[in-house]
Amino acid sequence: MYPTRAEALGRFMKKGMCLFTLTLVVMLSPTAESQQVGGVAPGPAVGEVPFIFLPSPTVADADAARQPIPRLPDGTVDLTGPWVGGGSNVDIELEGGLKAGELPLLPWARELRAKRNKAEEPYTACLPMGVPRVNPYPWKFAMSYTPKGLTHIYLLHETGDAGAHRVIYMDGRAHPADPIPTWWGHSIGRWEEDTLVVDTVGYNDKFWFDSRGTPHTEQLHTVERYTRVNWGRLRHVFLLDDPGAFSRPVTLNFMARLLRSDLKTGGGELMEFICLEDNQYGAAAGIRPGTGTSNK
């Protein structure tokens, strides 16, 4: 069920942006907020970038193991979701479980991160947020049902344009030798027992890992490992390998929480959210999105 207008007000507010959110952001400190959403879910942007952040309701810790992990008719784990969190948003270093300063950025990349202005992140201009970023809105796996089995898995984000859809090829193909750099790269997936392993290359260098501006280059190679540890939780172990911007590969840990079916917020479904429809943040505010590391 979709909510009535009145019921949808909460979500409507979540999706808007206006001045009183400054107050809201101050009231909801990042620490308290991220704990509420699971310790690893995205928190509100800080400083001069006030996003409204009313968290999507998720299954509580006490209920996470209350139901069995669903499986497809062939025994494969059903990863559908929708999930909330499970990636970076504000600061990949802290959200990924590292201590401040532990992310092995090369000096130039550290410098670029310090220099980047939050207001110029491409995400605020409704451009795709890239991997492993998530926003405060839910996302889901669409596991395609075909006579040939599971040939593709699509990742759908509630932000229809900034998140859009991402494809993971599950048919055993290899990466192309020379992929054209794109926002979501070229992703191939396989199962290692109950873990979905997604290997991606061919990224452009335009998206930021977080609103802090953590950069990468076109040499980025990522390996995402998704394990549904119980009904309500999805572990994401993220290998970040980019010799262009990092001195060594680094592994980050995230946990996504199952969206709770709540009539006030879409009844457990992804709602329609077109960032470009009325973006008061980007061009309307005179802000031009930043460019990639190649144009530093």
Partner 1 sequence: MRTLLVMIVASVIAIPLFAQGLVSGQGGGGEQTGVLGPVNALGQDIRRPPPPTDPPPRLPDGTIDLGDGLWIGGGPGDMASGLPPGELLPLLPWAKALMEDRERRPSDDPYYWCLPMGVPRVTPYPWRFVQNYTIKPTHMFILHEAIIHTYRQIFMDGRKHPAELDPTWFGHSIGAWEKDTLVIDTVGYNDKFWFDRKGTPHTEQLHTIERWTRINRGTLVNAITIDDPGAYSKPFTVTFNARLAPPGDELMENFCQENNQFGIAGGHTHPFAR
71: contact with partner 1 by CB under 8 A: yes
Positions 259 through 278 that interact with partner 1 (CB under 8 A): 269-270, 272, 274, 276-278
Cis peptide before 82 (omega within 30 of 0): yes
Positions 7 through 26 that interact with partner 1 (CB under 8 A): 8, 12
126: contact with partner 1 by CB under 8 A: yes
Strands 186-192, 165-169: pairing kind: parallel
Give me the sheet containing 250-258, strands edge to edge. Answer: 83-85, 250-258, 233-241, 221-230, 195-201, 186-192, 165-169, 152-157
Q: Measure the CA–CA gap between 86 and 233, rounded to whole angstroms.
A: 9
190: contact with partner 1 by CB under 8 A: no
Contacts of 290 (CB under 8 A, 6+ apart): 116, 117, 120, 121, 122, 208, 213
Q: How far is the CB of 39 from partner 1 (least distance, A)?
A: 28
Q: How far is the CB of 135 from partner 1 (least distance, A)?
A: 15
Mark residues 224-263: x for contact with partner 1 by CB under 8 A, - for none.
----------------------------------------
Q: How far is the CB of 8 from partner 1 (least distance, A)?
A: 6
61: contact with partner 1 by CB under 8 A: no
62 or 177: CB nearest partner 1: 177
Say how far residue 39 (Cα) sits from the centre of its chain.
15
40 or 270: CB nearest partner 1: 270
Q: How far is the CB of 4 from partner 1 (least distance, A)?
A: 5
Stretch of 25-33, 37-45, 69-77, 191-199 lying at the interface with partner 1 (CB under 8 A): 69-77
Q: Measure the CA–CA gap between 254 and 88, rounded to whole angstroms.
A: 8
Strands 152-157, 165-169: pairing kind: antiparallel
Q: Which residue among 160, 213, 232, 290 contacts partner 1 (CB under 8 A)? A: 160
129: contact with partner 1 by CB under 8 A: no
Contact 179, 204 (CB under 8 A): no
CA angle, residues 75, 79, 83, in degrees to nearest 5: 160
Q: Which residue among 20, 108, 154, 191 contacts partner 1 (CB under 8 A)? A: 154
Query: Which residues make beta-bridge pairs with 222?
Result: 200, 240
Choose among 142, 16, 33, 140: nearest CA to 89: 33
Q: How far is the CB of 221 from partner 1 (least distance, A)?
A: 18
Q: Measure the CA–CA gap between 270 and 222, rounded to whole angstroms.
A: 26
Residues interacting with partner 1, by CB under 8 A?
Answer: 1-5, 8, 12, 70-73, 78, 80, 125-128, 142-148, 150, 152, 154, 156, 160-161, 164-165, 167, 169, 182-184, 269-270, 272, 274, 276-278, 283
